[in-house]
Structure 1
Amino acid sequence: MRTVTDDERRARIGVRHALATAAPGVEAAVRAVTCLHATEASSIYLSAYARSRADRASISDALFGRRTVVRQLAMRRTAFAFPVDLLAAARGSASARVVRQMTARLAKDAELAGIDDGPAWVDRRCAEALEAIREAPGTTAQLRARLPELNTRIAAEGRPTVLAPAGSRVVSVLAASGSVVRGDNAGRWQVSRPVWTAVEQWLGEDPGVLDEREGYRELVRRWLWSFGPGTEDDLVWWLGATKTAVRRALDDVGATPALLEDGTPAWLHPDDAEEVRLDEGWAALLPTLDPTTMGWRRRDFYLGNRGPQLFDGAGNAGPTAWWNGRIVGTWTQQPDGTVEVVPIEPVPRAVAAALEEEAARLTAWFDGDVVATGYVPPIVRGRVSRGSGEASAR
């Protein structure tokens, strides 16, 4: 059984995630990490840029022109940007699990608000909304204006004594099912205002749905190539799935057992027998919830003890600065769009220079635009709260 050292795992990040050498295009950049996190609209652009050096027009074309990258609610009730050929797998496995959870909760909250037969009510609202979207795509606000029933106030999720309009949750169920997708964006590139569109209208045909077992097998197969070696717990967390589903998928894939440096059992893609080496150092500035930062549950080999400075209490990461497979800090923007690196601890002069070069490239790419994030790293919040007047260090 092969042991994969931490050094090799860090080299794999540089090679497999297209961070040491740029991918040949947006689609290749997405495939390098299986799919991109899409919780924040800007993260899709920044993650794709970090791996391909593509400009915003090229990334927008993949999303809205060629439509080769499609946003879909999937693992852990999170929005991701998938290569279009992976949609059927996601819809049948991770997304289907989310649909069941969301539908049951929505029905329960409807009944808490006094609606009889919550499941039937949810079915009716979803059917009406889907028909309306097929007739004319629209934002959630536009759909609520056209369908008064979507304004029905039901118990808010997690707050049963608070009532809120049901429209956004009904649309989210449809989005998780894959029957509708986030089509055009009614906001600027860094703001998410999706125009909900029937999937067959957006893509020209329905991409289909694999059964659950096939879907998980394909997701696990691609994850192993991008992120392997990984543990069973890594996969359970990443997929938001059960251990039973993960173990079955690993068996179906024919995953190869391996050991991490500390002896922990892990898994590799069945075709991943050769050691991955990388002799050149590399620097990267990655956005909030980037797939490299969020790809494993166990993050010691690239994060060390820096988690409390970069991750919130729920395990979500803001922007990160990387050197040679390790997170060494974060980055922020000044009001004029200038990107500045915030190291967690002193770094060698050559590393600082490489990170500043990345910051200069990213500043030019932003071209004056400023991106806000809902996941500000604790180290940056701490600097601001002390009244330094700066959220970054030169």
Structure 2
Amino acid sequence: MSDTDVSDGEAGVDGGVRYIGAEERRARLAWRHRLAGAARAGSPEEVAGTLVALHGTDPATVHLAVGARLADPAVTVAETERALYEDRSLVRMHGMRHTVFVFPTALAAVVHASTGLTVAARERASLLKAMAEAGAPDAAWLKEVEESALAALARRGQATAAELASDEPRLRERFVYAAGKSYEGVHTVSTRLLRVLGLEGKVVRGRPLGSWTSSQFRWAVAPPHPELGVAEAQAALLGRWLAVCGPATEDDLKWWTGWKVTDVRRALATIGARAVSLDEGTGYVVAGDTEPVTGPAEPWAALLPALDPTAMGWRERDWYLAPELRPMLFDRSGNVGPTVWWDGRVVGAWAQRRGGEIVWRVLVPGGVGREAEALISAEAERLRGWVGATGVTPRFRTPVERELAG
């Protein structure tokens, strides 16, 4: 990136851009990710609004991530369901990296324009190509089915794919995908079409069929939102994320958004991002965010769920996660499992056993000391207190989580 793309940053003692070390980054994380006790939030909307996005691939993650950050975790399930399914102040939709997230509904237009449009166009083209190769009906037929399905969904309010297929039987049509390839499979029209409509911002995930841990969702018509320009939306999203997760490197930003590097650089320039010096190289913060930040007066502990937005927030993680812990804490696809945090660093893992017991293990050499262990134990009891006997098994399991769960 050239010097003209973003501001040079504020001068440090050596006359260059200001250096932000790992300790200060962990202090920022404590406050801005609402993990320190004094920083905890009062509602799911506050949590999601602060973090910008909560991973929604695993339904339990949303509730567990909220509960870890609420001052009163006893209200986690009821209040999160209220926000998602009654007030609709939060929405579950596709976002960055083709992944399902939970966002503040007010941010839906920004997410859709900044990350969804390009992916949606590619996915629709892929669906039409797959149908053509299988000898299935053409684009006009698919458009007719789509319009009928959306009308049925509007009438019902929320519905499963099976319920929609009872109103529009053509959704049950099946075609062979990738015939002759190792990943050949038979898909229904509804499976692929509803995914495309989700990426296009026309439908969103509704209330699950079971409890808050269920991955079987109903669908709902997406809330209306204004159409934004791509560049405008990308600048807005990157600015929101960088305000809570900065400093971050260009690689961090490219990874988190899923954008091309040219899009990241354009957005950085648009928001007037400031360059800072990190152990990893050049990082960026939003304008006015170069003042030193100190950590909470009291140390803190947290038990964060698999795919938590803090643990998955950056591509370069050495400042909060020792490289030697990664094989134990991540699956082969790069999905993080449940993690134990002490004062801004990942120090271990946790799991739930049958009956609801929360067990944890410190993985760092030499341990963390009695004070840390006492606070971690308190967080484990806090978690068990509101989860109760509800079984929570991560969708993507890691070696140490499997071992702890027994």
Whether the TM-score (by the shorter chain) exceeds 0.5 is: yes
Find the partner of 2:398 among 359, 366, 377: 377
Compute the displacement of 1:319 (Å). Answer: 1.0
- In the alignment, structure 1 residue 355 sits paired with structure 2 residue 376: yes
Change (3 A) 1:304 1:128: same
Unaligned runs of 5+ in 1: 201-205, 384-389
Q: How far did residue 284 of structure 1 move?
A: 0.6
Partner of 1:308: 327
Task: Say whether residues 1:19 and 2:35 are aligned partners.
Answer: yes
Q: Does 1:188 align with 2:208?
A: no
Residues 87-115 of structure 1: per-residue CA shift (max 9 Å, x gap)? 11011121112212221221222122112
Which of residues 167, 178, 201 is equivalent to 1:178? 201
* Matched position secondary structure for 1:358: helix
Report the equivalent of 2:143.
123
**Residue-by-residue CA offset, 1:186-238 (whole Å, 9 max, x unaligned):** 221111332211124xxxxx122312111111110011011100111111111
Q: What TM-score, normalized to structure 1?
A: 0.91
The reply to whether residue 45 of structure 1 matches residue 63 of structure 2 is yes
Instruction: Tell me the alpha carbon deviations over residues 288-321 of structure 1, each in whole angstroms, 9 at most, x when there is no partner.
Output: 1010011111111111111111111221111111
Where does residue 133 of structure 1 map in the other structure? 153
Distance in 2 separating the partners of 1:160 and 1:327: 37
8 Å Cα contact 1:75/1:98 also seen in 2: no
Question: For the structure 1 residues 65 and 8, does the alpha-carbon distance in structure 2 shift closer, same or farther, using more than 3 Å as the test?
Answer: same
Q: How does 1:246-257 map to 2 (within 5 A)?
A: 246-257=264-275
Distance 2:177 2:372 in 1: 48
- Deviation by residue 1:99-134 (Cα, 9 ceiling, x = unmatched): 1222122122212211254x4454343323222211
CA positional deviation for 1:167: 1.0
Q: What is the match of residue 235 of structure 1?
A: 253
Checking the alignment, whether the CA contact within 8 Å between 1:113 and 1:154 is kept in structure 2 is yes
1:354 aligned partner, one-letter code: L
SS at match of 1:374: coil
Contact 1:45 1:59 (8 Å CA) reproduced = yes
Q: What does 1:284-323 correspond to in 2, within 5 Å?
A: 284-305=302-323, 306-323=325-342
- Measured in 2, the distance between the counterparts of 1:28 and 1:223 equals 15
The aligned residue for residue 199 of structure 1 is 222
Q: Which residue of 2 aligns with 1:391?
A: 405
Secondary structure of 1:322's partner?
strand
Deviates more, 1:286-295 or 1:59-68: 59-68
Decide whether the 8 Å contact of 1:154 with 1:165 is kept in 2.
Answer: yes
CA contact (8 A) 2:338 2:401 kept: no
SS in 2 for 1:4: coil
Q: In the alignment, is residue 84 of structure 1 matched against residue 79 of structure 2?
A: no
Deviation at 1:356, TM superposition (A): 0.8
* Equivalent position to 1:166, from 189, 192, 196: 189
> What is the TM-score when the length of structure 2 is the normalising length?
0.89
Q: Secondary structure at the match of 1:145?
A: helix
Quote the Cα distance in structure 2 between the aligned partners of 1:349 and 1:124.
65
- Cα deviation for residue 172 of structure 1 reads 1.2
5+ long unaligned stretches in structure 2: 1-16
1:216 and 2:237 equivalent? no
Deviation at 1:350, TM superposition (A): 1.5
| TM-aligned CA deviation for residue 25 of structure 1 | 2.0
Q: Does 1:268 align with 2:268?
A: no
The aligned amino acid for 1:80 is: F
Moved more, 1-10 or 138-147: 138-147
Distance change (3 Å), C-alpha of 1:187 and 1:353:
same
| Separation of aligned partners in 2, 1:375 and 1:69 | 24
Indicate how the Cα distance of structure 1 residues 155 and 211 shifts in structure 2: closer, same or farther if over 3 A, else same.
Answer: farther
Moved more, 216-225 or 52-61: 52-61
Distance 1:122 1:265, change over 3 A: farther
- Larger relative contact order, structure 1 or 2 (CA cutoff 8 Å, min sep 6): 2
Residues 134 and 177 in structure 2, CA contact (< 8 A), matched pair in contact too: no
CA contact (8 A) 1:5 1:261 kept: yes
Distance, in Å, in 1 between the alignment partners of 2:312 and 2:165 is: 34
Answer whether contact 2:338 2:350 (CA < 8 A) is retained. Answer: yes
Question: What's 1:2 paired with?
Answer: 18
**How much has 1:241 moved relative to structure 2?**
0.9
| Cα distance in 2 for residues equivalent to 1:180 and 1:353 | 45
SS class of match (1:197): strand
SS in 1 for 2:206: strand
With over 3 angstroms needed to count, the CA separation of the structure-2 counterparts of 1:145 and 1:251, relative to structure 1, is same
Residue identity in the other structure for 2:23: D
Count of residue pairs the alignment pairs up: 378
Q: After superposing the two structures, state which structure 1 stretch, 71-80 or 136-145, moved more.
A: 136-145
Q: Is the 1:37–1:290 contact (alpha carbons within 8 Å) kept by the matching residues of 2?
A: yes
Whole-angstrom CA distance in 2 between matches of 1:165 and 1:110: 10
What's the CA shift string for 1:12-62, capped at 9, x where partnerless?
A: 111110001202322111122111111111111111111114412112111
What is the root-mean-square deviation of aligned Cα atoms in Å? 1.8
- Mapped partners of 1:378, 1:334: distance in 2: 15
Q: Distance in 2 between matches of 1:124 and 1:288?
A: 40
Residues 1:226 and 2:240 are matched in the alignment: no
Letter in 2 for 1:128: S
Following the alignment from structure 1 to structure 2, what is the Cα–Cα distance between the partners of residues 156 and 165? 10
Question: For the Cα contact (< 8 Å) 2:117–2:199, is it kept in 1?
Answer: yes
